[in-house]
Each structure stands twice: as C-alpha cells, then as structure tokens.
Structure 1
Amino acid sequence: MNNITIIKASGEKAPFKIEKLISSLQRAGADKTVIDQITEGIEGTLYDGITTKKIYQMAFKMLKSKSRVSASKYKLKKAIMELGPTGFPFEKFVGKILEHEGFQAEVGVIVQGHCVQHEVDVAAIKDNKHYMIECKYHSDQGRFCNVKIPLYIQSRFLDVEKQWEKQLGHQTKFHQGWVYTNTRFTTDAIQFGTCMGLGLVSWDYPKDNSLKYRIDKSGLHPLTALTTLTKAEKTKLLDTGIVLCKELHEKPELLKEIGINKQRHKKILEDSEALCKSI
C-alpha cells in the first residue's frame, strides 16, 4: 500500500500511511479488533488519487456501526467545522475551553484601544494574564491561516495593549494577543507569531496546547460531534446558545424544547455523557 498516493484537503499529494489511520482510530477509543476490521476494509478499496475525505468517510461509516461514541470522537475535526456557518459558535467554544482552564472569558466584546475601538472575539483574564483573542473559523479544511492574519491581529492587539497599560493595576499584568483557528497556520504565520510573541492555537498546533489536545484532555466536545443528532437538530441547539455536549447533558430539557421525542433522549444523553469524559 506504500505506492498509493492520496489527495489531502489542501490539494497536496502524499503517500498513504496506514499508521496515521490506525493512530486516529486509537485516539477515538476504538479497540484493536475494530481497528483491524476498518483498516482491512479500507486497504481493500484504496486506489491511486483517493482523497483523505473519502478515506475519512469510509472509516467513519464503519466505526459508527461499531461504536457511536468512538465515531463521535473520530469526527472531532469535522464537528468543529460544523459549528458554522458563522464563526460565533466557534468563538463561544473557545471561550468555554478557556473558562474550563480557569480564565474569566467574555465573548464578543467592544474594547477601547489607544486609537480606535475594537470588536474582540474573546477577552480572557486569569491572575495577571490578560489576553485579547481573535478566532478564525473556516468551514473548509483546505483553508489555512496565512501570515496576513497574525500581522493584522498583532497590530490590533498593540493598539489595545497601549490602552490597557494606562488602566490602574495593569502595569503588573502580562498582556498578550492570541489567534485561534480550527484549521492550520502556514509556516510563515507561525514564524511571525513566534517572533512577535503572539499566541497561536490551531487544530494541531502547538502539540501540547492544540485544540485537539485540549478537547481530548478536558472532554469539552462540541455537540456537533454527536452522531445521534440530525444536522437540523444540531442547528436548533446551537441557536439556543449552547455549543458543548456537556451543556446538553446539564440541560436535557433542551431536547424536548427542540422537538426530540423521549425515545431518543436516552441515547443522546448517554453519548453526550460519554464524550464529557476526559482522557
């Protein structure tokens, strides 16, 4: 199978590596028997030029038939993309992660800078740390955040920081701008952010602080990961202002409010509770 070429979401070509598929299934909690069945099934249908999207769809379908919860974990990246079409649910999602980590987070705030006002996606405070966070949500896996994004955010942050420093008590605070994205950063975006001291968080960067890592660690899965909800039902729940499986488990009455019958409640709540468990 080493001669099979796959097409990534970005259009880039790469050799197929079964180890990557096995690793992703292991992270989803699938046992060895299930993993062996899925990899055997996929290896038998591979062809040169197959897309990673097609491989994912086949693996997800097979995994879902074996374990709904594992399938929900396996589709985590796609589930975050399903928080759209606007970026606001993703901003709320980032705010919830920060709150879980002990920050006081406020989503969608107007902040006065030295020169002009700025609409900030998330403002977060913890101890002496004061962060201005911008969230860049993409519904397409192939779209990366290039260097223009951190350049723009850093200039806004510097204007805000200059105003923050005038406030009483802020002389001892550590101020920093951050960019969160659900896809990836280009190499030059990471280089600029690192050079300027701008915090960067993407799907898989940095390794020990990425979205993927922090969601697995905290158990804060988006409700869009649930395979027991339809797309329309997920949209209705997002419209109520909740974004987490955890919130759904804490407010089960929301299922009734959006018209889901009692027979389905048990499966949905069982899955949401299982997803709340951190690794």
Structure 2
Amino acid sequence: MKQILIKKASGELEPFSEYKLRRSLERVGTLPDVIEKIVSHIMGELKDGASTYDIYKHAFSQLHKYDRPLAGKYSLKRAIMELGPTGHPFERLVSEILKTKEFSTQVGVVVQGICVSHEVDIVAEKDNRHIMVECKFHNRQGIKTDVKVTLYIQARFEDVQRAWLKDKNHTQKFHEAWLVTNTKLTTDAIRYAECVGMKPIGWSYPAQEGLEILIDQSGLHPVTCLTTLSVGIKQQLLNRNIVLCKEMSQNKNVLQTLGLDATQITQVEKEIRQLCKTV
C-alpha cells in the first residue's frame, strides 16, 4: 500500500500512522469493534495531503455516533485549548488535579525573590515540600513548549530560592519547580528541565503521567469537553468561573440557569456522569 502523507498543524508532513489513530481511540476506552469500524471508515476515505485536523474531525464525528461521552474525551486536547484565551482556567484545572494527588494548593500567589517579586501560578504543598508550579497554556494547535519556557521558570525559581536561603523567615520557600503545559514538550525543554531538577508535565509526557492521563485518572474533564452543550453555553460557564464538569455535577442548579429544557438537562447530566468517571 502506498504511504500516505498527512499535514500536521505545524505545516510539517509526516506519514499517516494507523497505529496512532488506533491508540488515540483506545486511550478514551473505545470498544475494539467500534475502533475497527472507525479506522476502516477513515482508511477508506483518507487522501494524500489530508490534515491531522481532518482526521481528528472524521474520527470525532464517527465516535460521536457510537458514544457521545467518549467523543467528549476524544476531544480533550482541543477542549483544553478552548479554555482560553487566558491561562487562568487551565491553572484551575491543574490545581484541582494536584489536589487529587493529595497536594494542598494556592493559585496566583505573589512571592518575593531576591531581585524581584513573582506571581507564581500554583503553590503546591505535600509532606512539607513546597512546589512552584508554572502552567504554560497554549490555545493554538501546532505549538510545542520549548526550552525558553524551562529556562524562564528556572530563573524565577532560583530568584525565590536565593531569597529564602538568605532569610530563613522568608514567607515562601520552594524545594522544587514544575512545568505543566497542555502541549507537547520539545526534546531540549525536557532535557534542560530534568538536568536542573525540574519536573516537566505535558501532553503525552511523562509516558505514564502525561496531562491527558492525569485528567482521565482524576475524572476532571473541562466543561469544554461536553458535546451536549453549544459553544455559547460553554463560554457562559467559563465566564462564571465554572471550569470542570465535576463542578456542574456538584451544583445541578447551574444547568437550570442556562436556558436548557428538561430533555437537554437530562442529556447533559448523563454525559457529565460518564466524563467524571475515573480510570
């Protein structure tokens, strides 16, 4: 069979990988027979030069016919990007994930360094260890988080670290820096982070603890994953600072204030229950 080249969001061409398509469907728990049907359908229509977005849309629409909640999970990467344009909802998401790992967290903390003050995205604490968590949010496809980001975070970490080492009464100390991003990391970003003792977490990295896995394990899917709500209603929720499906399951009155009828509310509640299941 002739090798088919597809276009990535970055504009690069790469060979189409049936394995990657299957893995993306397996990740969200798609049944084997459904995977076979979707892959067969896409392979039958795939043409040279198709974009990764075309393939995603095709897979999403097919999966949506079989299982709407799974389609919501399948759209996770794009759903996170739809939390923008600011990074504040993403910081909330990361903070809640850390809480499921038994960290206590504070979001948006101003900390004094030895040179200047810094607004730290998340201060996380566990077992008397303090973590400076910096969240790098991107709302466009085709971008990777590069080494400049890890260099910047390390400089901030060292400035604050020097301040508390100099003054033991310093109000905030950090033992470690983390980077959490919603994109893939470049090789140099990973290499530098691990060289200086920083923990990098991104899309599909680390292999068993990437962002998408942490979200699936915790059941903390963003409201932008919901296929039963329009884009406009999702934006209403974000405007009210409601970021997670879990928040809606804990406050069912929210749905009644969105102008939905009883049938729509039932559909949304069903999808929320499925999305909030942990794996």
TM-score (normalised: structure 1): 0.94
> Aligned runs of 1:57-206 on 2, under 5 Å?
57-165=57-165, 166-167=167-168, 175-206=175-206
CA distance in 2, matches of 1:241, 1:55: 32
Check the 8 A contact 1:38/1:59 in 2, yes or no: yes
CA distance in 2, matches of 1:125, 1:36: 45
1:266 match: 266
Which runs of no fewer than 5 residues in structure 1 stay unpaired? none
Check the 8 A contact 1:92/1:107 in 2, yes or no: yes
Runs in 1 of length 4+ with deviation above 4 angstroms? 168-171
1:237 match: 237
Equivalent residue letter for 1:230 = S
Check the 8 A contact 2:21/2:39 in 1, yes or no: yes
* C-alpha displacement of 1:216: 1.5
Equivalent residue letter for 2:138 = H
Equivalent residue letter for 1:133 = V
* C-alpha displacement of 1:32: 2.2
Query: RMSD between aligned alpha carbons?
Result: 1.8
Check the 8 A contact 1:2/1:15 in 2, yes or no: no
2:49 match: 49
Check the 8 A contact 1:128/1:174 in 2, yes or no: no
Secondary structure of the equivalent of 1:220? coil
Whether 1:224 aligns to 2:228 is no
Whether 1:29 aligns to 2:37 is no
Equivalent residue letter for 2:155 = S
Q: Relative to 1, partners in 2 of residues 1:259 and 1:163: Cα closer, same or farther, differing over 3 Å?
A: farther
Secondary structure of the equivalent of 2:175? strand
2:248 match: 248
2:17 match: 17
TM-score (normalised: structure 2): 0.94
CA displacement, residues 112-131 of structure 1 (integer Å, 9 cap, x when unaligned) = 11221111111111112211
Secondary structure of the equivalent of 2:130? strand
* C-alpha displacement of 1:3: 0.8
Check the 8 A contact 1:2/1:17 in 2, yes or no: no
* C-alpha displacement of 1:148: 0.9
Equivalent residue letter for 2:240 = T
Q: Relative to 1, partners in 2 of residues 1:81 and 1:2: Cα closer, same or farther, differing over 3 Å?
A: farther
CA displacement, residues 238-262 of structure 1 (integer Å, 9 cap, x when unaligned) = 1221211111111111112232232
CA distance in 2, matches of 1:162, 1:126: 21
* C-alpha displacement of 1:81: 0.9
Check the 8 A contact 2:132/2:174 in 1, yes or no: no
CA distance in 2, matches of 1:2, 1:31: 28
Check the 8 A contact 1:146/1:188 in 2, yes or no: yes
CA distance in 2, matches of 1:217, 1:170: 34
Check the 8 A contact 2:122/2:134 in 1, yes or no: yes
Which runs of no fewer than 5 residues in structure 2 stay unpaired? none
Equivalent residue letter for 1:77 = K
CA displacement, residues 57-79 of structure 1 (integer Å, 9 cap, x when unaligned) = 00101110111011011111111
Secondary structure of the equivalent of 1:266? helix
CA distance in 1, matches of 2:226, 2:17: 28
